A and B are shown apart, each in its own frame.
Chain A
Amino acid sequence: MTDLSCDVLVIGAGPGGYVAAIRAGQLGQKTIIVEKQAVGGTCLNIGCIPSKALIHAADEFHCVKEAAAGHSRLGISAQSAAIDLSRTMSWKDGIVRQLTGGVAGLLRKAGVDVMTGMATVLDGKTVQVETGEGSVRIACQNLVIATGSTPVTVPALPFGGDILSSTEALALTEVPESLAVVGGGYIGLEIGTAFAKLGARVSIIEAKPHILPHYDEDLSKPISARLKALGVSLSFDSVAQAHDPQRGLLSVRKGDAVEQVPAEKVLVTVGRKPALQGFGLESLGLDMQGPFLRINDRCQTSMRGVYAIGDVTGEPMLAHRAMAQGELVADVIAGHPARWDKRVIPAVCFTDPEVVVVGMLPAQAKAAGHQVEVASYPMRANGRALTLERSDGFVRIVHEAKSGLVLGFQAVGAGCAELVGEFGLAVEMCATVTDLAATIHAHPTLSETLQEVALSALGKALHA
């Protein structure tokens, strides 16, 4: 057994863990990061990046296919469209390799030791790692838990064979003839839409009355409409029951009726749960908050010197939240007066059309006791949206009636993901609708919708 010691030991090299380690290294802390699989975690290897690569490939293929079918309104024609998904996957893997290689380089530059192996927590200050070259015991001053999350399973549909989690779906080398997606959250919708565009017959089965159940129906409606146009079938208030791999059918119960949905493959995306089991963490008896580790505004758990960041600490389980916490925790450990004081954590669904949610939804703002006003502006009034052939969707702004303080933004529309930066900045800077209306937005861009919605909030709309 080799014995090592360090100031900061990070378990898990996802976006939370690797950012924490890089910053800790930059701040002069002797830092070790342990990862059992690949640097970059869920996000780089099997999450954000691979899914966005697949979505992009599917979009490109879909355009060519439309043109080949003579549906191009732009007058573009093409001979025939075909896709070799295995080549798409190796292109995607190349991106992942480039990015994970980049992260490894950044860790090295910051002087962080990366150790590959399974970490087991012995106590709050000691961790044992099973590496390829044997066991290593590491004593640390500060322990950062950044072990991320894993997909939730449905007992009737255990992963394996034709029942896929997002990980396997993002590695398919052939487009399945039919794909049933169980769970209409963002992950299922993103991957489901991509496969629909790649030519699979896709069905989405959602237990709640609409897709993206965390958001209001106004936001999900344009997506439902587009999915239907793409030939995706949607079942709401429905529960998947059992899969028959021989016949390629999934039985789905809705009320008293049971119907069969074509499903060569079944993608189960009913949520993710924090990865807190199987590596000795239980022995610390840390305080929990629901299924997650309870942390304070400095990412401290209930045990001194033990910190937690990323998906293990709760919703929203998103890469940029994990990164922000990673940076914070390194500052806290280095003794800086840092604490979590963000006003918002933006969220983007890369569905078609995309959805952006920043800050409070109208209902949330009302529930929080604000005197709320809501204004929205349709994409169809925006020149740029029309030149991109997409007029579906809208931008919505939630603000305080008296002061005009912006409390939240929502947008649905093709390409509107890129508006998220301005939304986030506006809320973080405590902008008012007047500030937004007074800022010149370049023409023609989708961002003009933001200025327009602010103008309508002030009752001074120009183009609506």
Chain B
Amino acid sequence: MAIKTIRLPDVGEGVTEAEVAEILVKIGDFVREDDPIAAVMTDKATVEITSAYGGTVVWIGGEVGKTLAIGSDLIRIEDDASKGGTPEMHATADSAGAPPVASAPPDDALQQEAENEAPAQAEAEPPAAAAHGAQAAIASAVADANSLSADKSHAAPRMPDPMRVAPVRPEGAAVLASPAVRQRAREAGIDLRRVAGTGPAGRITHSDLDQWFDDGRQQEIRPGRGTASPSQPSEEIVETVKVTGLRRMIARRMSEANAAIPHITVVEEVDVTEIEALRARLNETRGDKPKLTLLPLVAAALVKARETSPKVFARYDDEADQVFYSSAVHIGIATMTDGGLMVPVLRHAQDRSLFDMAGEITRLSDACRSNKAKREELSGSTITITSLGPLGAIATTPIINKPEVAILGINRMAMRPSWNGSAFVPRMMMNISASFDHRIIDGFDAAVFVQKMKTLLETPALIFMKD
């Protein structure tokens, strides 16, 4: 008989920890190889962890809601002696990329919204940035777990965050380790720059890595920090809900973006009568192509606006004081799901046709709603569009999807009287609310961009002009 440990595998780029969303086995259960044993949630997606071995579960390392560092022990299994497997204490479950756990299908309301002709993707969530961006993930994952009151009362003991341990090597310095050590670290999601090397010339050995794991485990046994309940009068509390998973990630991300970025928001009124007429006409003759909402047209206008306002389509690494500009336009599409707001990315919008964008947006939002979006599909955007659809107000104050520097909010469309110089005429009107990172974007550039968007949306032929 041998006890085998399945560790929390690296669930994707840059993630150092994940929250246990579901434990699918109990002590004493028999599992087969590849059976699902748990689901963990990162800031981007829910990932199912499968067992690398068959055997009986003898130990479970996490509970729902607990945050575990990548590489920490998840479950231990006692395998069948009859199977004759070689004992292997620290094999890593290699299930990164396993299909995410599917959750309940979108409810009727959402279904209806999707069918709604209303502008853009309907949403019932304040326009804002969602969980997103590897750097942000790292920074926010640790920041405010204890500032959320609901969290405090249940604060689970946590692994030391690997990213929080100060680097023992300066940024850019070479890591000295043999390929086998490097692979082991990679599989456990450990940044070797954080690990002290005791070998010759500072080489990191297998035992250095063992030591690193052991240190992590010791800290895990220490009692959690806060146990006091929030100071509400207890008789008024009808229900206490722990903020977990995507909701918690959104909460952190929002407060981080809002605290770090000095926002300026510009609201402008747009006459969308013509673009609506164009959309209706395109839909009439679309054949078996996907139905156009306003969103692909807004995306096409954004692509066009990039020609004159390239600064707005950037990613800002405020720690490194670097702004990255890309020739590609990758548009984040804020999307409501059962679990909360997600922002899948419409990549290479500059190379796509309207219908292609329409199809891709539907595919992406379906993937998000069925929890099947891949990490790559949820990262790398250079600007985000957010929309409340028919629920949208006159104006909103969108929160920037860090590390981007701008976000475009689409508000509700309505027929309003408009003075054409001699008479009031009915026009379809809609406001856009765009927020900018004032550290990078000046008011003037913000205004130029918003005016450009207004011009393009009011005279849609300009979107398709090649000059």
Interface residues, chain A, with chain B CB atoms under 8 Å away: 284-285, 287, 302-304, 334-339, 341, 343, 400, 403-405, 428-430, 432, 434-435
- Quick check: is B102 within 8 A (CB to CB) of the other chain? no
Instruction: Say yes or no: A405 contacts B176, CB within 8 Å.
Output: yes
Instruction: Say yes or no: B201 contacts A403, CB within 8 Å.
Output: yes
Instruction: Say yes or no: B200 contacts A403, CB within 8 Å.
Output: yes
B178 and chain A: residue at smallest CB distance: A429
- Some 19 contacts from A to B, beta carbons below 8 A apart, are A285-B350, A287-B327, A287-B328, A302-B328, A302-B348, A303-B347, A336-B94, A336-B97, A337-B187, A341-B186, A403-B202, A404-B200, A405-B176, A428-B178, A428-B179, A430-B177, A430-B178, A434-B200, A435-B200
Instruction: Say yes or no: A404 contacts B327, CB within 8 Å.
Output: no
- Quick check: is B9 within 8 A (CB to CB) of the other chain? yes
Instruction: Say yes or no: A304 contacts B182, CB within 8 Å.
Output: no
Instruction: Say yes or no: A337 contacts B10, CB within 8 Å.
Output: yes
Chain B, residues 277-303, CB within 8 Å of chain A (1/0): the string is 000000000000000000000000000
How far apart are A409's CB and chain B's nearest CB, in angstroms?
16
Taking residues whose C-beta sits less than 8 angstroms from the other chain, chain B's interface range is 20 to 34
Chain B, residues 156-186, CB within 8 Å of chain A (1/0): the string is 0000000000000000001011110010001
The distance in angstroms between the C-alpha atoms of A336 and B186, with both chains bound, is 10
Chain B, residues 71-112, CB within 8 Å of chain A (1/0): the string is 000000000000000000000001011100000000000000
Given the complex, which residues of A lie within 8 Å of B348, measured CB to CB? 285, 302-303
Instruction: Say yes or no: A338 contacts B178, CB within 8 Å.
Output: no
The distance in angstroms between the C-alpha atoms of A304 and B199, with both chains bound, is 40
Given A284-B351, A337-B186, A430-B199, 11 other A-B contacts at CB below 8 A? A302-B328, A302-B348, A303-B347, A304-B347, A334-B97, A336-B94, A337-B189, A403-B201, A405-B201, A430-B203, A432-B201
The distance in angstroms between the C-alpha atoms of A341 and B187, with both chains bound, is 13
B352 and chain A: residue at smallest CB distance: A123
Instruction: Say yes or no: A335 contacts B98, CB within 8 Å.
Output: yes
CB-contacts of B190-207 with A (<8 A) = 199-203
Instruction: Say yes or no: B200 contacts A337, CB within 8 Å.
Output: no
CB-contacts of B312-333 with A (<8 A) = 327-328
Those 7 A-B pairs whose CB atoms lie nearest each other, nearest first: A335-B97, A403-B201, A405-B201, A430-B176, A337-B10, A429-B178, A430-B203
B188 and chain A: residue at smallest CB distance: A337
The distance in angstroms between the C-alpha atoms of A334 and B94, with both chains bound, is 11
A399 and chain B: residue at smallest CB distance: B201
How far apart are A31's CB and chain B's nearest CB, in angstroms?
17
The distance in angstroms between the C-alpha atoms of A197 and B215, with both chains bound, is 64
Given the complex, which residues of B lie within 8 Å of A432, measured CB to CB? 200-201
Instruction: Say yes or no: A337 contacts B182, CB within 8 Å.
Output: no
The distance in angstroms between the C-alpha atoms of A430 and B177, with both chains bound, is 6
Given the complex, which residues of B lie within 8 Å of A404, measured CB to CB? 200-201
The distance in angstroms between the C-alpha atoms of A284 and B348, with both chains bound, is 10
Instruction: Say yes or no: A337 contacts B9, CB within 8 Å.
Output: yes
B98 and chain A: residue at smallest CB distance: A335
Most B C-beta atoms less than 10 A away, residue of A304, A400, A404, A432 = A304
Given the complex, which residues of B lie within 8 Å of A430, measured CB to CB? 176-178, 199, 201, 203
- Quick check: is B214 within 8 A (CB to CB) of the other chain? no
Instruction: Say yes or no: B201 contacts A400, CB within 8 Å.
Output: yes
The distance in angstroms between the C-alpha atoms of A430 and B192, with both chains bound, is 14
The distance in angstroms between the C-alpha atoms of A302 and B350, with both chains bound, is 13
The distance in angstroms between the C-alpha atoms of A430 and B199, with both chains bound, is 10
B94 and chain A: residue at smallest CB distance: A336
The distance in angstroms between the C-alpha atoms of A291 and B369, with both chains bound, is 41
- Quick check: is B377 within 8 A (CB to CB) of the other chain? yes
How far apart are B404's CB and chain A's nearest CB, in angstroms?
18
How far apart are A332's CB and chain B's nearest CB, in angstroms?
9
A283 and chain B: residue at smallest CB distance: B351
How far apart are B447's CB and chain A's nearest CB, in angstroms?
31
- Quick check: is B376 within 8 A (CB to CB) of the other chain? yes
Given the complex, which residues of B lie within 8 Å of A337, measured CB to CB? 9-10, 96, 186-187, 189
A403 and chain B: residue at smallest CB distance: B201
Contact residue among A285, A343, A403, A429 (Cβ-Cβ distance under 8 Å from B351):
A285
CB-contacts of B335-370 with A (<8 A) = 347-348, 350-351
Given the complex, which residues of A lie within 8 Å of B96, measured CB to CB? 335-337
How far apart are A56's CB and chain B's nearest CB, in angstroms?
32
The distance in angstroms between the C-alpha atoms of A334 and B98, with both chains bound, is 9
How far apart are B129's CB and chain A's nearest CB, in angstroms?
21
The distance in angstroms between the C-alpha atoms of A404 and B202, with both chains bound, is 11
How far apart are A281's CB and chain B's nearest CB, in angstroms?
13
The distance in angstroms between the C-alpha atoms of A403 and B10, with both chains bound, is 33
A435 and chain B: residue at smallest CB distance: B200
Most A C-beta atoms less than 10 A away, residue of B97, B201, B350, B377 = B201
How far apart are B168's CB and chain A's nearest CB, in angstroms?
15
Given the complex, which residues of A lie within 8 Å of B203, measured CB to CB? 430
How far apart are A302's CB and chain B's nearest CB, in angstroms?
6
Given A428-B178, A429-B178, A430-B177; A304-B97 close (CB under 8 Å): no
The distance in angstroms between the C-alpha atoms of A100 and B329, with both chains bound, is 43
The distance in angstroms between the C-alpha atoms of A428 and B182, with both chains bound, is 11
Instruction: Say yes or no: A304 contacts B186, CB within 8 Å.
Output: no
How far apart are B208's CB and chain A's nearest CB, in angstroms?
12
Given the complex, which residues of A lie within 8 Å of B178, measured CB to CB? 428-430
Given the complex, which residues of A lie within 8 Å of B351, measured CB to CB? 284-285
Given the complex, which residues of A lie within 8 Å of B376, measured CB to CB? 304
Given A304-B347, A304-B376, A403-B200; A338-B186 close (CB under 8 Å): yes
The distance in angstroms between the C-alpha atoms of A403 and B200, with both chains bound, is 7
Given the complex, which residues of B lie within 8 Å of A335, measured CB to CB? 96-98
Given the complex, which residues of B lie within 8 Å of A400, measured CB to CB? 201
Given the complex, which residues of B lie within 8 Å of A338, measured CB to CB? 186
Given the complex, which residues of B lie within 8 Å of A341, measured CB to CB? 179, 182, 186
How far apart are A457's CB and chain B's nearest CB, in angstroms?
13
Given the complex, which residues of B lie within 8 Å of A434, measured CB to CB? 200
Given the complex, which residues of A lie within 8 Å of B199, measured CB to CB? 430
Most A C-beta atoms less than 10 A away, residue of B200, B350, B377 = B200
Instruction: Say yes or no: A339 contacts B186, CB within 8 Å.
Output: yes
Given the complex, which residues of A lie within 8 Å of B176, measured CB to CB? 405, 430
Given the complex, which residues of A lie within 8 Å of B202, measured CB to CB? 403
Contact residue among B98, B179, B377 (Cβ-Cβ distance under 8 Å from A304):
B377
Given the complex, which residues of A lie within 8 Å of B347, measured CB to CB? 303-304
How far apart are B285's CB and chain A's nearest CB, in angstroms?
23
How far apart are B95's CB and chain A's nearest CB, in angstroms?
8
How far apart are A458's CB and chain B's nearest CB, in angstroms?
13
A404 and chain B: residue at smallest CB distance: B201
How far apart are A38's CB and chain B's nearest CB, in angstroms?
33
Given the complex, which residues of B lie within 8 Å of A287, measured CB to CB? 327-328
How far apart are B100's CB and chain A's nearest CB, in angstroms?
12
A434 and chain B: residue at smallest CB distance: B200
The distance in angstroms between the C-alpha atoms of A191 and B359, with both chains bound, is 54
The distance in angstroms between the C-alpha atoms of A337 and B177, with both chains bound, is 17
A285 and chain B: residue at smallest CB distance: B351
Given the complex, which residues of A lie within 8 Å of B94, measured CB to CB? 336
How far apart are A198's CB and chain B's nearest CB, in angstroms?
41
Chain B, residues 1-40, CB within 8 Å of chain A (1/0): the string is 0000000011000000000000000000000000000000
